[in-house]
Amino acid sequence: MIKEVNTLETRILIAGFGGQGILFFAKYLAYIGMEKGLQVSWMPSYGPEMRGGAAQCGVVLSDNVIGNPVVGEPDIFTAMNLPSFAAFENRVKPGGTMFVDSSLISKECSRKDITVRGIPATQMAEEHGLKGLANMIMAGAVLSKLPDISQDVIEAAMRETIPERKKEMFANNMKAVALGLAAI
């Protein structure tokens, strides 16, 4: 049984390789917050990481003024590769949740005070003809932890996140999110 994150502020960290769509994933969560009328912040790592190294992005959703936008101790952490799993496993807040792309990370989490959910997102994406959208499958999984997310919000946020010139990607992104939601 997954305990709902129901604090006034939810701090989310997403980490993986450059090219996995980590920043896009985080941007989608920020738009989810925007659609719900919350305060949001989106804080990327930036620089040489964009060219294939480690990529990470922190998102804070809050119904109050956001202080620190850097997510050092996340309520929800999503690991999309082994180095980020190792780097942040011990920084998740007690009682928090860690989502793991289990098709890329086979290591078991040693912590007993957090909920760990493995989703074989990369494999699922390939099986469903959604190559490159493992990020959005993981995003669907994260949505399951946020309170009161309606289908309208899920769609509206996606419309905002996808740039006009790539709008043909909308349907596949929505499919990926639905897969992630259903996997939890």
Partner 1 sequence: MSKRILIKGNEAIAEAAIASGCRHFFGYPITPQNELAAHMSRRLPKIGGCYLQAESEVAAINMVYGASAAGVRCMTSSSSPGISLKTEGLSYLAGCDLPAVVINVQRGGPGLGSIQPSQADYFQAVKGGGHGDYRMIVLAPNSVQEMYSHTCKAFDLADQYRLTVMILTDGFLGQMMEPMTVESGQLTVDSEKDWAVGGKRGKRIVNSLFLKPADLEKSNLERFERYKLVEESEPLHEGYMLDDAEIVVAAYGATSRITRNAIDEARSQGVKAGLLRPVTVWPFPKKAFAKAAEHARAFVSAEMSMGQMIEDVELAIRCRRPVLLCSRVGGMAPEPKQIFDAILQADKEAAR
Q: State in angstroms the smallest separation of the CB of 62 from partner 1.
A: 11
Q: State in angstroms the smallest separation of the CB of 65 from partner 1.
A: 8
Nearer to partner 1, 161 or 173 (CB): 161
Which two tokens mark 93? Answer: 């807040």
Nearer to partner 1, 82 or 170 (CB): 170
- Residues 6+ positions from 16 with CB-CB distance below 8 Å: 22, 54, 55, 56, 79, 80, 81, 84, 101, 135
Nearer to partner 1, 28 or 85 (CB): 28
User: Of 71, 75, 72, whose CA–CA distance to 113 is shortest?
Assistant: 75
**Which amino acid is located at 183 in the chain?**
A
Q: State in angstroms the smallest separation of the CB of 37 from partner 1.
A: 9
Nearer to partner 1, 14 or 105 (CB): 14
| Separation in Å, CA 102 to CA 33, 56, 105, 133 | 27, 18, 5, 15
Write out the residues near partner 1 by the rule CB under 8 A.
Answer: 27, 30-31, 34, 39-44, 46-47, 65-70, 72, 160
